Every structure is written in structure tokens, then in C-alpha cells.
Amino acid sequence: MVVVGGPAWAIDIKLSPEEAKKALEAGRAPMEKANSPEDVKKVLQQASMVTRVGADPEKDQCGASAILRTKRYRLEAFGRQEAAESKKQKKDVRMPEEFIQKVVDMPNMEVEVQLCGDDEYFAEKADIVFQQKGKNIRPVDISPADRGRKNEGAGPAYRSRFTARFGYESFDPNAKTTVIVTLQDGQTMQFDADFAKVK
């Protein structure tokens, strides 16, 4: 049975302490059940799929995509860390309150962009904007791109990634968004991102 509807998702800009605790639990639960390195890998892949926009790397290895590291994503990652540490130490390990508060207060969303190109430095000086309602929204800052790694399989020879941070107050968390990446040679890649589907 497929249930259509339900609450509309959107990137959570403000999280209550209860929501933060639920996010930690949502990250912790699958990791507690993971019993092998393969299970752990699956849990981590699943986590990044939930907040990925653009191409699905399982289907299109070289399609441009991005992982949105939202507040909820970060808290779930903390939850996974708690579960992993608890197993290692054979006792419950929990994140300190101030770590959780730091995430809840974060002013920026981190966006990790993954893309392919023809030489190992193709992503150097890459630029990114969100386009919403005809406006270009610029990031607060962009980290230098990784040097390209050899790409297995078809398509361009190298894959790289870089990270940009966007101020939560600068974009609409419910809006249809086009992500536009411009490379130093002027080549652009763009893909649509439905922020309303990401928490």
C-alpha cells in the first residue's frame, strides 16, 4: 500500500530540542542494528542518499550531484557516531549537549558538490550558485576542490568534489532550486534540486 501525502518536508532551519533528539535517534537506530562492515557502509550510503540532489551515483556515476548537509543530517551523523562509539566501548556514549546546540545554532548549510571532468585539476576555482525564483544566491564561502581522482568506468577521466556553505537566511528552504556550477574554463553544469524533499 502506498500512502501519498503526509507532511511536506522542507529543510529544517529551526529545530526544537525534541526534534534534535529525534534526529539523533534516527541516526543512531540503523547504526545500532548494523552488524558488519557491509551493513555500516549501507547505512552511510543511505544517509547521504536522503539529502542528495541531482544525479544518483548508482545510476549515473558522473552526473553532477550534491549532498546537502543540513542540521538534521549533521545530528543524524552524530547519532551514527554515538552508536558506533557505544559498540566500541560497550556502554552508551552520547554527544555532549553543547555539540548538539552548536549544530542547532548553525547559520549555514554545507553543500558537497560531486562532479566529473577531463583532468585532475578541472574543478579548481569552481563556483556555485542556487537559482531560485529568477535570483542567484551566492554561498558564504567555497572550499578549494579536491584534486580529481581517477574515475573507474565510462565518462570523463576524473571525479572531484568541493564544499560550499550557504546561509540559511539567504535561500527559501521550500523552493524549487537549480544548482549551477561553473568551472574555471567557463563550462557550466546544472541540476534541479527540490529542497522541499530534503529535511
pLDDT tens-place string over residues 155-175: 788 999 999 999 999 999 988
What is the model's pLDDT at position 9? 52
Residue 55 lies in a domain: yes
Give the pairing type, strands 108-117 and 158-167. antiparallel
Task: Output phi, psi for 167, to 5 deg.
Answer: -65, 130
- Side chain identity at 74, as an amino acid letter? R
> If you average pLDDT over residues 44-51, what whole number do you get?
86
pLDDT value at 4 more than 80: no
Residue 56 lies in a domain: yes
Tell me what percent of the residues of the chain surpass a pLDDT of 70: 95
Q: How many domains, in total, are found in the chain? A: 1
- Side chain identity at 67, as an amino acid letter? I
d(CA 81, CA 138): 32
Residue 9 lies in a domain: no
Neighbours of 40 (CB within 10 A): 16
pLDDT value at 136 more than 50: yes
- The residue range of the domain holding 79 is 17-197
d(CA 189, CA 66): 12
Residue 148 lies in a domain: yes
Give the pairing type, strands 176-182 and 188-194. antiparallel
pLDDT value at 153 more than 90: no
pTM to 2 decimal places: 0.87
> If you average pLDDT over residues 132-149, what whole number do you get?
95
pLDDT value at 7 more than 90: no
d(CA 20, CA 22): 5
Residue 44 lies in a domain: yes
Residue 62 lies in a domain: yes
Handedness of CA 144, 149, 153, 154 (dihedral sign): positive
Residue 6 lies in a domain: no
Burial of 37 (0-12, 13-18, 19+ CB in 10 A): exposed
Confidence of residue 38 (pLDDT cuts 50, 70, 90): very high
Residue 8 lies in a domain: no
